[in-house]
Amino acid sequence: MTQTASVEHRMLLDTIERFCREVLAPKAAEIDRTGRSATCHLTGLSELGIMGLNLPEEHGGIGLPAPVLFEAVALMAAACGSTASMVTAHWLATDSVLIGGDDAIRARILPDAAAGIKLGAFALSEPGAGSNPAEMTAVATREGDHYRLSGTKHFISNAGEAGFIVVYAKTDKAAGARGISAFLVDPKRDGVRIFAPEQTMGLRGSHICEIAFDCTVPAMDRIGPEGSGFRTALKVLDAGRVEIAACSVGIAEAALAAAVDWSRQRKVGGVPIADFQGLQWMLADMATDIAAARALGLTAAGRREHGERFSKNASMAKLFASEMVDRVTDNALQIHGGYGYTAGLPLERYVRDCRIFRIFEGSSEIQRNIIARWVLDS
C-alpha cells in the first residue's frame, strides 16, 4: 500500500481488498472456465464506487489520487484479472470524455458511468492499425448537424456490454494524426454492428469484440474540437499504461503468494522445498522484480497526480511490469511443478491472463520506441 495514502484512502483500499477476496477471487476460476462476462460483478463494483474511482467528485466519482488508484487496480487484478481488465477498459472510455470533452458532454456521460449505470468502451484499435493509431482508416465526415461514421474497430473491450463507446476516427484524412477526432457513440444506434466476442487465451471474462460502423453521430457527440482526438488518446493511453503496470503487479503478487505457500507445504525427502537455496533465490528474484515494478508504477502515478509529464514513466512502468509478470508467473508455476500446470490451481490462469499485458495499450516494442525517443531527446 502506498505510504502517501490518507487514512480515508487506506480504509477504502481495505474495503476493496475485502471485496476482492470475498467476491471476486472465489468466482475468478469459473469466469475463466466458462467465459462468463466479468460484468456479473458490475453491481458490487458500482456499490463500492469502483467504476468511478478515476473520476473527480464533481462528475460523480471518488477521485482517488493516482498512486492510490494504482493500488486499487493491483488488488482487483490479484483477485480476478478479467474484472480488473473490464474496469480499466471502462476507465479508458471515461478518461477520454474527462480529458477531451467539454462540461456539457461530461455532465451527460460521466455521472452514469461513475455509478456503473453505463459501461464504457474505448474504440481506438483497428484490424490494420493497432500500434500506430495514425494509420486508422475509420472516417467521420461532417454532414450538417451530424457526422457519417464508417469503419471497423477491433479488439474492443466491453463492446458487447457497453452503454457508450468512445470512437476515434479521422475527420481530416489528409492531416494524419492531427485529423483524428473522438466521438461518443450509442451502441444501439442504427448502423453499429458489434460482433461476437473473440475466443482469447486469457482474461476470458473481459470480452473483446470487433465493431463495424456505418452510422450517423450527432455533432454534439463529438468529444472536443475536431482534430483533438489523437492528443486525447495519447493522454488516455498514458494513464492506461500505468493501470496495466498495476494489473501486472497484482497478478504477480498473487502468483508469488501462491508460490510461497506451496513452497512451505510441499516436501521433498521430508523437507519443505522452501528450505532449498535454489528455490529461495527464485522467490527472492520474484519479490525484487515485483518491488521494482511497483516503484516504477508509483513513480509514474505520482507524476500524474502532481500534473507533471509522465509519458516516459508510464512507458517504463508498463514495459517493465508487463514483462516482469511473465517471469514471475512462469517461475511460480515452475515451483508448483506438475500441479501448477493443472486447472485445479490458479497458476496456469495467471500465466494466460498476463500474457496480453505486453500487447495492451501499446506493445513492449512500442514502449521501447517511446522511451528511446525520450532518452535521445534529453
As annotated, the active-site residues are: 361
Q: What is the DSSP string of 226-244?
A: TT-HHHHHHHHHHHHHHHH
What DSSP designation does 1 have?
-
Per the CB < 8 A criterion, the answer to whether 77 and 251 are in contact is yes
User: In the chain, count of helices (H) and strands (E)?
Assistant: 11, 10
Q: For the chain, how big is the Rg over CA atoms in Å?
A: 21
Q: Which residues of 40-70 are buried (b: 16+ CB within 10 A; e: fewer)?
A: ebbeebbebbbbbbbbeeebbbbbbbbbbbb
User: Coil, strand or helix: which one is 158?
Assistant: coil
**CB atoms inside a 10 Å sphere around CB 139:** 17
Q: What is the 3-state secondary structure (H, E, C) of 339-352?
A: HHHCCCCCHHHHHH
**CB atoms inside a 10 Å sphere around CB 189:** 15
